[in-house]
Amino acid sequence: MLARADTVATIAESWLAQFEAALAAPGLPRLERLFHADSHWRDVLALTWHIKTVSGSDAIVRELATHAGRARPTGFKIDLHRTAPRAVRRAGTDAIEAIFGFETAQGRGSGVLRLTPDADDGGRSKAWTLLTALDEIKGHEERLGRSGPQGKAYSRDFRGPNWLDLRKAAAQYGDREPAALVVGGGQAGLSIAARLAQLGVDTLIVDREARIGDNWRKRYHALVLHNQVHVNHLPYMPFPPNWPTYIPKDKLAAWFEAYVESLELNYWTGTEFEGGSYDEKAKRWSVVLRRADGTQRQMHPRHVVMATGVSGIPSLPDIPSLRNFGGKVLHSSQYDDGEAWRGKNVLVIGSGNSGHDIAQDLHSAGAKVTLVQRSSTMIVNVEPSAQLQYALYDEGPSLEDCDLITTSMPLPLVRKSHIALTETARNMDKELLDGLERRGFKLDFGEDGSGWQFKYLTRGGGYYFNVGCSDLIVKGEIGLAQFSDIATFVSAGARMRSGETLAADLIVLATGYKGQEYLVSKLFGNDVAGRLGPIWGFGDGQELRNMFARTAQPGLWFIAGSFAQCRIYSKYLGLQIKACEVGLLP
């Protein structure tokens, strides 16, 4: 490794002192010598009020020169309350990694510094990566004290409203309107609503389901999360230590209810968000909500946060001959349980997580199942291969530190890491993968071998975490067919180009979901959708498009992703909305 444990802190402290001095010098003449030519600075609101990554020492110096005078960052010091500076290996490179704190004119922040020696400069330690992230806005810190609904302190008033009276009144919005309306009550909606509540931003969650947690509760019977419990905590309220490694969907749904109650979040169930328009002059939305009883409520929030997830509107492929089929057709979002199909023939079209899980559930119920593959798919065993990506969370740092370290990795290095992890997983799973290929399953490992994580970040699917279905395919217990080999659908099932007919009583379309831009167009109109452009994925940049940050449409925000993504980025989305509320951001 690079250095002994007793020297890494000194090296990091020295660099931070030089960095602070260089930022204060007119023209920043000494700044460039602190960074490697091939280095990366990721700023999350602290200096730029954007989430952005800048690569290359020349570009970093230019950006710092642009923002340092206004932000006035000072006080760069190793944070003694967090994981101590240490020698690590990240993206195949040995480095010193240090967590530090600092202040700006408007806030307090945390950062992560990674130093490596520069062989062309006498082994001098220079920054390979630097993160500067905003933690709180001065004068508008999170209110974590013991107060009641809307921040009112409780009192023992025998003639006044009690806690329940206050909670009901707060949630009814009879005499006021929310500053922020969150559309969707899954992990994304709960995370941002919890953050905004702690920042004192009056927030209402609306969800069309009848009960909190139904967005998980109503999914197929056998559903269990594919990553481990310690990665999936929600903000402020971690799961209890006795929880199972992989969380069942009904347990999660019940936790959502407890979370809303415990954090006193305002949440309307059975409420359909029917769309809205933005008043540029008033800087407010006019939105329509349809309640469970059919009544409408018009509201005028300053912010609308779309938390409907990466999976929104079901994607139904245009298969003209499917109308010839005489059995039942379901999209995977409508599938519940395989028991009703015992002894029946089923085709599951689509080979991602949902397709495989539904096929396995049907097989376990006694159905005769064939998985129909439309395109090549990445397969990775759920253990240990799929968990390699989360190794950091087993290293020992706190959840808060792991989240910060995760945030600190710039996209090029994340991609490099995932290429290496994908190759490791591929070798670990070789026996399974070879067996699948022998059966005719078409495999791929993502663009440039970057694996399932980048498939998720760019297209929201295209992979399966094997919890047994792949083994059943290898054994021939679940059939396999290629969609390209289907000539047409007929009343009895799928007629193959070979002339054989795959009999079916049920066809499940595990064909994914449309991009969020389709939902935006439906709810806000084509002009807004066109102004925003694509949502999710990277395009030409190093950050997810239109996610967790200001968009081209004022007052419209997006949050989606895994539990970890929602936990991490809800913090920064909440800070931006608070900054708008107090006049720091337009």
Q: Are residues 405 and 334 in the same domain?
A: yes
Q: Are residues 290 and 379 in the same domain?
A: no
Q: Are residues 276 and 297 in the same domain?
A: yes
> For residue 159, is it within any domain?
no
d(CA 568, CA 41): 18
Q: Are residues 230 and 284 in the same domain?
A: yes
> For residue 470, is it within any domain?
yes
Task: Specify the 3-state DSSP secondary structure of 113.
Answer: strand
Which residues contact residue 28 at a Cβ distance below 8 angstroms, ignoring those fewer than 6 apart? 22, 61, 64, 65, 68
Q: Are residues 343 and 492 in the same domain?
A: yes
pLDDT category, 167, cuts 50, 70, 90? very high
Q: Are residues 378 and 480 in the same domain?
A: yes
CA angle, 124 then 127 then 132, to 5°: 150
Helical spans, DSSP H, in 72-208: 163-172, 187-198
pLDDT category, 313, cuts 50, 70, 90? confident
List the CATH number of the domain containing 19: 3.10.450.50
> For residue 147, is it within any domain?
no
In the predicted model, is pLDDT for residue 134 greater than 50? yes
CA angle, 292 then 167 then 170, to 5°: 70
Q: What is the pLDDT of residues 477-489, one digit of tens each?
A: 999 999 999 999 9
Look at residues 116, 137, 158 and tell me which one is the last residue of a structural domain. Answer: 137
Across the chain, what does the average pLDDT equal?
94
**How many CA atoms lie less than 13 Å away from 301 in the CB half-sphere?**
29
pLDDT at residue 219 in the model: 86
Q: Rounded mean pLDDT of 17-21?
A: 96
pLDDT category, 221, cuts 50, 70, 90? confident
User: Would you tell me how many other CB atoms lie within 10 Å of the CB of residue 11?
Assistant: 18
> For residue 540, is it within any domain?
no
pLDDT at residue 426 in the model: 97
Q: Are residues 27 and 175 in the same domain?
A: no
Look at residues 137, 155, 182 and tell me which one is the last residue of a structural domain. Answer: 137
In the predicted model, is pLDDT for residue 557 greater than 80? yes
Q: Are residues 325 and 428 in the same domain?
A: yes
Q: Are residues 205 and 79 in the same domain?
A: no
Distances (CA, A) of 401 to 87, 142, 407: 15, 19, 10
Which of left, alpha, beta for 26 (phi over 0: left; psi -120 to 50: alpha)? beta
pLDDT at residue 337 in the model: 87
In the predicted model, is pLDDT for residue 153 greater than 70? no
d(CA 300, CA 314): 29
pLDDT category, 312, cuts 50, 70, 90? low
Report which of 332, 305, 278 is spatially closest to residue 548, judged by C-alpha positions.
305
Q: Are residues 338 and 484 in the same domain?
A: yes
Q: What is the pLDDT of residues 389-404, one digit of tens each?
A: 999 999 889 999 999 9
d(CA 361, CA 366): 9
pLDDT at residue 1 in the model: 44
Q: What is the pLDDT of residues 425-450, one digit of tens each?
A: 999 999 999 999 999 999 999 999 99
pLDDT at residue 515 in the model: 84
Say how many domains are in the chain.
3
> For residue 425, is it within any domain?
yes
Q: Are residues 349 and 475 in the same domain?
A: yes
Domain that holds residue 229: 169-312+516-531+553-581
Burial class from Cβ neighbours inside 10 Å (0-12, 13-18, 19+) for residue 482 reads: middle
> For residue 472, is it within any domain?
yes
Q: Are residues 130 and 173 in the same domain?
A: no
d(CA 407, CA 268): 32
> For residue 456, is it within any domain?
yes
List the CATH number of the domain containing 215: 3.50.50.60
pLDDT category, 143, cuts 50, 70, 90? confident
By residue count, the chain amounts to: 586
> For residue 484, is it within any domain?
yes
pLDDT category, 310, cuts 50, 70, 90? low
pLDDT category, 513, cuts 50, 70, 90? confident
